[in-house]
Amino acid sequence: MSITTDEIRASVARYLKRYPGEAGHLRPLTDALASGKELTSRKQFDGGHVTCGAVVIDDTGKLLLIQHKTLGKWLLPGGHLEPQDVGLLHASLRELEEETGISWHGAVSPPGQDHTPVDIDIHTIPASPSKGEPEHWHADFRWAFRVKEPKVVLQVEEVDGYAW
């Protein structure tokens, strides 16, 4: 079962109920949902599409960042949705494991953060002529996870480094 527009709408609604002051920031996403745009495909460039990220905190309270090769920036682990993802939370865990090698089995959401993202960030992705991609936005649904004694093994195709 793939991620549906209804799941995205429901997650946005839960998020805005918890963080009502974010409504203005999420306007591009809520407008796209209201217009019926397909936001689960990484090939949706008429505006943007949904991605998922992981806010990973180790047992000493440090936050994990990765150095993204293509963008050349320090970011949270995360990325595009895949057809096999069964939910937004699942997509976040899959991306965490793919990019860092940290198993989803050891990643635990803090109480109350397993149904609602801790953050939804909308940011612009620059055009990539080599990929045939115009400038567009990502609506990154970010989920919080605690991990104990994580061993990071980077996905060298996409990630140059990591730091806690």
φ, ψ dihedrals at 141, nearest 5°? -85, 115
What's the pLDDT tens digit per position in 82-107? 999 999 999 999 999 999 999 988 89
C-alpha distances (whole Å) from 32 to each of 5, 27, 35, 40 are: 10, 8, 5, 12
- The CATH number of the domain holding residue 106 is 3.90.79.10
Report the C-alpha gap between 116 and 41 in whole angstroms.
21
The single residue listed with the structure tokens 């799941």 is 7
Q: Would you state the pLDDT for residue 91?
A: 97
108 forms bridges with which residues in the sheet? 146
**Dihedral sign from CA coordinates of 133, 135, 139, 142:** positive
Q: What is the CA radius of gyration of the chain?
A: 15
Low-confidence ranges of the chain (pLDDT < 70): 1
Residue 17's pLDDT is 97
**Is the model's pTM score more than 0.75?**
yes
Strands (E), the chain: 48-57, 65-68, 73-75, 78-80, 119-125, 136-146, 159-163
Integer Cα distance of 63 and 147 in angstroms: 10
The number of domains in the chain is: 1
Task: Extract the tokens encoding 70.
Answer: 């293509």
Segments forming the whole domain that contains residue 146: 5-163
pLDDT value, residue 150: 87
